[in-house]
């Protein structure tokens, strides 16, 4: 305690010495510094530990609910990618605020029509609320199956949108496209047709 008081006195003397060099406003702040130091010192003192008596608790049953699904449709029904096993999945991550996402949607819609007989399912996943996705769907005239992504994009190694991941019929990821694409170009159509 004596050392602390000596420190406070030393600080006070230093403040009085430099008051001619420092502005009056800053001086006011420095004058309360020793008081703050003293208050912190008092707050840091060790308090005696109390012994708490343990009381046996009756066994409690906990209702464990099923964890939330990775995706859900805009009606709120749970969806997993495994639900589409046996089909090729074109999964596009997008957002209503993402201009490149919206700009590539007409090409995705044309691609969906072109690959109609190639056993593809097109899913457009957003991590935004179902209300925002539904509002977007009503405002735009795209024929897509919109779904809500319930996870974190970072867990999917997605740092920028749009990102499209393609899964084969066994559910294995076989392609990934980062950024907006010309989905109805001959090169991409051919690549997606060749996926097995």
Q: Distances from the Cα of 51 to the Cαs of 41, 48, 56, 102, 172, in angstroms? A: 25, 10, 16, 63, 57
Q: Report whether pLDDT(10) > 80.
A: no
Q: Give the pLDDT mean for 109-123.
A: 97
Residue 175: per-residue pLDDT:
96
Per-range mean pLDDT, top range of 1-5, 57-61, 142-146 = 142-146
Residue 196: per-residue pLDDT:
86
Query: Poorest-confidence range of 42-46, 115-119, 130-134, 152-156?
Result: 42-46
Each residue's pLDDT tens digit, 32-61: 666 655 555 555 444 454 444 545 545 544
Q: Which two tokens stand for residue 86?
A: 């046996």
| CA–CA dist 44, 3 (Å, integer) | 15
Q: Name every residue whose Cβ is closer than 8 Å to that of residue 176 and which is 6 or more positions away in sequence.
A: 163, 164, 165, 166
Mean pLDDT estimate for the chain:
82
Q: Name every residue whose Cβ is closer than 8 Å to that of residue 86 and which is 6 or more positions away in sequence.
A: 169
Residue 19: per-residue pLDDT:
57
Each residue's pLDDT tens digit, 17-36: 555 556 666 666 656 666 65
Output the pTM of the full model: 0.66
Residue 184: per-residue pLDDT:
93
The answer as to CATH 3.40.30.10 being correct for domain 71-193 is yes
Q: Report whether pLDDT(127) > 90.
A: yes
Q: Which two tokens stand for residue 153?
A: 């994009």
SS3 27: helix
Residue 139: per-residue pLDDT:
96
Q: Report whether pLDDT(94) > 80.
A: yes
pLDDT-based confidence at residue 66 (cuts at 50, 70, 90): very low
Q: Give the pLDDT mean for 166-172.
A: 95
What is the number of alpha carbons within 13 Å of residue 107 lying toward its C-beta?
15
């Amino acid at each position: 305690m004596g050392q602390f008081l000596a420190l406070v006195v030393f600080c006070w003397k230093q403040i009085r010495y430099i008051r001619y060099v420092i502005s009056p406003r800053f001086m006011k702040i420095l004058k309360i510094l020793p008081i703050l130091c003293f208050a912190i010192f008092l707050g840091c003192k060790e308090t005696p530990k109390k012994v708490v008596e343990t009381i046996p608790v009756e066994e409690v049953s906990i209702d464990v609910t099923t964890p939330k699904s990775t995706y859900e449709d805009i009606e709120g029904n749970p969806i997993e990618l495994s639900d589409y096993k046996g089909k090729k999945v074109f999964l596009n991550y997008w957002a209503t605020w993402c201009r490149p996402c919206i700009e590539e949607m007409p090409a995705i819609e044309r691609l969906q029509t072109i690959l109609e007989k190639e056993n593809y399912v097109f899913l457009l996943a957003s991590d935004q609320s179902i209300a925002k996705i539904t509002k977007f769907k009503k405002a735009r005239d795209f024929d897509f199956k919109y779904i809500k992504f319930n996870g974190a994009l970072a867990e999917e190694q997605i740092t920028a949108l749009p990102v499209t991941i393609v899964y084969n019929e066994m559910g294995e990821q076989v392609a990934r496209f980062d950024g907006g694409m010309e989905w109805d170009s001959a090169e991409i159509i051919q690549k997606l047709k060749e996926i097995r």
